[in-house]
Amino acid sequence: MPNKTYQHFTLDLPQVQHGSVWVHACSMGEVASVSGLIQRLLDANKRVHLTVVTRTGFAQAQRLFGEHISLSWLPWDLPFLMARFVNHLKPSLLLLNETEFWPGMLKACKRQGVPVIGVNTRISDRSFPKYYKTRKLWQRWLDPIDFFLAQSDIDAARLSQIGIPKMKIKTVGNLKCSVQAPDVDASQVRQMIDPSGQRPILIVASTHEDEEAQILAILPEWQSIQPNLLTLIVPRHPERFQKIAGLLEQNGIAFTRYAEERTGHESVILIDAMGVLTGLYTIADIVFIGGSLVNIGGHNPLEPAVCGRGVVTGKHIQNFKVVFADMQQQGAAIVVQDKHELELAITRLLKQPDELKQLNAQAALFMQQQEQVLDNMWNEISPYLKH
């Protein structure tokens, strides 16, 4: 991994091929969301350079693409640094994911004649008031973007309200809907997690501070219904792995860590590893997605859905508001208001396997209906790709 500080200050410029398509995605979730688009570019024999902001995003990109793309940290958004970076990169096109709007970056691209497309653009409930209050500034800063491919009609309307001409906005859907099923052998994953191959598996995914404690308080009730239940806890951030291990010990819960040998007596496995969650979805019976019992905004429900798994989530899902609404309408997601409702929802799924089967079947059907999103986006981008 290159030195982050050096690359922030363009003291260590990445080795790139001029004319690459520059894709920018902030973090792990955003890298995952554009992975299908990057793969489509590679399949079309386009060179790709990806910039990221977070360490988890960098690691995710390395796992997904290895040496097939060039990869670096995004420089600080200072005019002279961005001008130097863009001049070094000489990209044929910039694809800017979600709301990664950097004025210095956009100004440098405009001056050097680099077309810019906003892909998967969204304006969240939380950020929209700020954009609207400063819309005069954003009109000027976003002017270099040739057009925006919005996630939803709501996002398109918000772009228009902050002053983006309607002719530069088109709704194509959420690129996160184009996620691919993980390339894993589910039987091998099952053997590693549950050598017996018999235990029902509950995945508690992408949890944040205070969520694990709430789940552990409920867990005895679920285990009384299904004594053989195996719960996988997957904290969102690796720096919290040790803290959750301590919490499990304090509660007297028998657990193992991801890489440890299974005893068959553990009720919980702490998944203290990165990049394995999507593969675990292939063996789940019930999936709860965290970042939602506390006010984080939720996490991507499409990663389990593409594996044919419906989801249970808390009410704080503003980051995926439209997706969850669509999945709820399809019968592929259950949104609970608090810990008590979560207890009741999963209790019901444990007691009523037919309802659980229906939830998962509807998730698979929902994903089949989303397959056109990447094609729609590709059709809009293709005229900008130089041959």
Between CA 148 and CA 134 the distance in angstroms is: 19
Backbone torsions φ then ψ of 19, nearest 5 degrees: 90, 5
Look up residue 332 and give its amino acid.
A
CB distance 292 to 317 below 8 Å: yes
What distances in angstroms separate CA 346 from CA 102, 202, 222, 355, one per listed residue?
42, 9, 8, 11
Between CA 236 and CA 283 the distance in angstroms is: 19
- Which contiguous run of DSSP H or E holds residue 288? strand 286-289
Q: Residue 101: is it exposed, middle or buried by C-beta count within 10 angstroms (0-12/13-18/19+)?
A: middle
Q: Which residues contact 47 (CB under 8 A, 6 or more apart)?
A: 17, 19, 20, 21, 69, 70
- Tell me the CB-side half-sphere exposure of residue 342, using CA atoms within 13 A: 26
CB distance 364 to 328 below 8 Å: no
CB distance 355 to 349 below 8 Å: yes
Cα angle, residue 100 at apex, residues 37 and 51 outer, rounded to 5°? 60
- Which contiguous run of DSSP H or E holds residue 53? none
30 annotated active-site: yes
Q: Could you say which of 30, 98, 211, 303 is catalytic?
A: 30
Other beta carbons within 10 angstroms of residue 153's beta carbon come to: 10
Residue with token string 């044919």: 308
**Residues that are catalytic:** 30
